[in-house]
Amino acid sequence: MSSLTGSPNTLHDTALEPLRAKSGWIIALGVVYVLAGLIALSSVVFATVVTVFVVGVMMLIAGVAEVINAFQIKTWGKFLLWLLLGALYIVAGFVTFENPLLAAALLTLVLGFALIASGIMRIILAFNMKQESPWVWVALSGVITLLLGLIIVGHWPVSGLYILGLFLGIDLVIAGASWIGIGLGLRRHA
């Protein structure tokens, strides 16, 4: 009961104690992420192919789950649609294994158009926000996202060889740096 009557800082410190004990593992996880990210950045084409294979595996798993689901609810009346959807996912999964570079090019093109659409929507949103709110940051985010999408689409299909691997590498490095920062912060406040 004494922990319930303690100050908020005491409760916060008590809740973080198990993490502080494992700060070394958190830092090690961050180092692994950073190293994996640097490896991905050193060979973005290989990282792109690996990313496509992971997407292919996820499509196969989703397709099998859809087919199983179709047979579980076949009395619902949409059995054929569920079965076709599952088959489509399975075929798409196998296509990614058969021609990963084509799959990477298509995924990159979809990503480019998604970034263009997202950037346009953020810019529209920014100009519809109240002037007191931080609309400039939303507009800046929209412009950067739009430009990134235009660059990807403008360099397509060549960008399909490296964009997914580049994004994977950058994400792993940033995530790793975050874990290292969290681990060091926990250690510092121990």
With respect to residue 145, please indicate whether it lies within any of the assigned structural domains: yes
Domain of 153, in residue numbers: 24-188
Least reliable range by pLDDT among 26-35, 124-133, 164-173, 175-184: 124-133
- HEC string of 95-162 equals HHHHCHHHHHHHHHHHHHHHHHHHHHHHHHHHHHCCCCCCHHHHHHHHHHHHHHHHHHHHCCCHHHHC
pLDDT, average across residues 141-152: 92
DSSP 8-class letter at 6: S
Does a structural domain hold residue 6?
no
- The answer to whether residues 52 and 103 touch, using CB atoms and an 8 Å cutoff, is yes
Report which of residues 102 and 14 the model is more confident about. 102
Task: Assess if residue 41 is contained within a domain.
Answer: yes
pLDDT digits (tens, 9 = 90+) for 15-56: 777 777 888 898 999 999 999 999 999 999 999 999 999 999
Give the per-residue pLDDT at 87. Answer: 93
Dihedral angle of Cα 165, 168, 169, 173, to the nearest 10 degrees? 180
- Looking at residue 9, its pLDDT comes to 56
Contact 110, 153 (CB under 8 A): no
Considering its fold, how many domains does the chain have in total?
1
Would you say residue 123 has pLDDT above 70?
A: yes
Nearest to 172 by CA among 33, 4, 62: 33
Q: What distance in Å separates the CA atoms of residue 17 and residue 29, rounded to the nearest whole number?
A: 18
Per-residue pLDDT band for 86 (boundaries 50, 70, 90) equals: very high
pTM: 0.69
Looking at residue 2, its pLDDT comes to 45
| H or E stretch at 168 | helix 163-188
Torsion angle defined by CA atoms of residues 155, 157, 163 and 164, in that order, rounded to the nearest 10 degrees: 160
The pLDDT of residue 169 is 92
In a domain, 167, yes or no: yes
132: confidence class by pLDDT, cuts 50, 70, 90:
low
